[in-house]
Amino acid sequence: MHPAHLFAPYSLRNVTIANRVVVSPMCQYSAVDGFTNDWHFLHLGTRAVGGAGLVLTEATAVSPEGRISPQDLGIWSDDHIAGLRRIVSVIHEHGAAAGIQLAHAGRKSSMAPPWRELAVLSEAEGGWSNILAPSAIPFSEHYGTPIALEQADIQRIKQDFRRATERAFKAGFDLIELHAAHGYLFHQFLSSSSNKRTDEYGGSFENRIRFLLETIEVIREVWPTHLPLIVRLSATDWLEFSGETLHDACGWTMDETVRLTHILRTLGIDLVDVSSGGNQAKATIPVGPGYQTAFADRLRRECSIPTAAVGMITTPEQADHIIRSGQADLVLLARELLRNPYWPLEAAAALRHEIAWPVQYARAASGRKPERHPYQGRTDA
């Protein structure tokens, strides 16, 4: 058995990841009608070349109205499969596992890309009017007022996730992550500050988690049992820490995340990717290096489930310490991998670990192994 450190392999079900460095999902706002293009191919492929063990796509919408912006990736059509398969192929070719994050933005949809002024887009600007959420409560004054979902809409969206899962398998992905964090649709159901429903999908804790649990069950019906299914959660809305209250509720809390994670484990969820915030515009978040790692640590200990830590993890020593100290099983890097796609190669050298380099980069490898074998993790048996 390999000792736990940043560059030890890690297995989830039948998928073995070469090391513990994961490319966090990062929206690129570069798609047209949900289709991948050369930018996505280069962006994701380069991070595999750079030595990451697992590369996750950006939030990939299961329906057109589930996009954050008109420029998001999509998987609502069979026509999207070929482009995604091309990306999976290049990720595998350079030794990494490939994962897809399936998402629905809910009330945070139909927005302009971040380099433009924060604003909801009209239909004339490429947006859409059917912004959907558990309740008709906008995220902030800059966002559209959503339409409260009818029961039939909820059932339809569950089937959207089911069909997206089938397409993800056809595209060759090794792993699916469900995005239930950052104020998107699942998180909107979970939080009492955004979910004011009076039916079986609102009110009590058991009702607010129902939509996520039912969707997981639908996905597991078509996602092979030998492949991992993970969930990204916002551990807290941060209202409980800042003393803020909104709509007479403190929103989603860490204690509720612990309760939910115990249930997710019984449903066969293999790992929880632990983030925080995103559902309340007025929340005060104490951002700093590794500020969310304690949440991953608590879930790992109290729920006996593998976790991934994310949030301002920037140095090799910091990332390695998170793994060695047992705070999490994987670390996800986002902005640091935008700044330096070859961070894993440099981190391995700094930590004195052997890591396979692409043969084309052998002269830069300083005597390290100049060979990268294709990914061998997924089997369809």
pLDDT in tens, the chain (381 residues): 456 999 999 999 999 999 999 999 999 999 999 999 999 999 999 999 999 999 999 999 999 999 999 999 999 999 999 999 999 999 999 999 999 999 999 999 999 999 999 999 999 999 999 999 999 999 999 999 999 999 999 999 999 999 999 999 999 999 999 999 999 999 999 999 999 999 999 999 999 999 999 999 999 999 999 999 999 999 999 987 655 544 445 799 999 999 999 999 999 999 999 999 999 998 888 889 999 999 999 999 999 999 999 999 999 999 999 999 999 999 999 999 999 999 999 999 999 998 878 888 877 766 555 567 788 777 776
Catalytic residue list contains 29: no
Question: CA-to-CA distance for 87 and 208, rounded, in angstroms?
Answer: 35
Determine how many CB atoms are found less than 10 A away from the CB of residue 46: 17
Token pair 């449903």: residue: 267
Identify the active-site residue in 29, 184, 201, 375.
184
Structure token pair of residue 50 = 């750079």
Query: Coil, strand, or helix at residue 299?
Result: helix
What's the Rg (C-alpha) of the chain?
Answer: 20
The CA distance from 81 to 26, in Å, is 20
Helices and strands: H and E segment counts in the chain: 12, 12
Residue 220's CB is within 10 A of a number of other CB atoms, namely 16
Contacts 24+ apart (CB under 8 A), 261-267: 261/233, 261/299, 261/303, 261/305, 262/303, 263/209, 263/213, 264/216, 264/231, 264/305, 265/303, 265/304, 265/305, 267/213, 267/216, 267/217, 267/220
236 CB contacts (<8 Å, ≥6 apart)?
251, 252, 253, 254, 257, 276, 277, 295
Q: In the beta sheet, which residues pair with residue 255?
A: none
User: Which H or E run includes 99?
Assistant: strand 97-103
121 three-state secondary structure: coil
| pTM summary value | 0.95
Residues whose CB falls within 8 Å of the CB of residue 54, separated by 6 or more in sequence, listed in order: 17, 21, 22, 23, 96, 97, 98, 99, 175, 330
Q: Which ranges constitute the DSSP H helices of the chain? A: 38-49, 81-93, 151-171, 185-190, 205-208, 210-222, 239-242, 254-266, 293-303, 316-324, 335-339, 343-350
Q: For position 364, what pLDDT does the model report?
A: 72
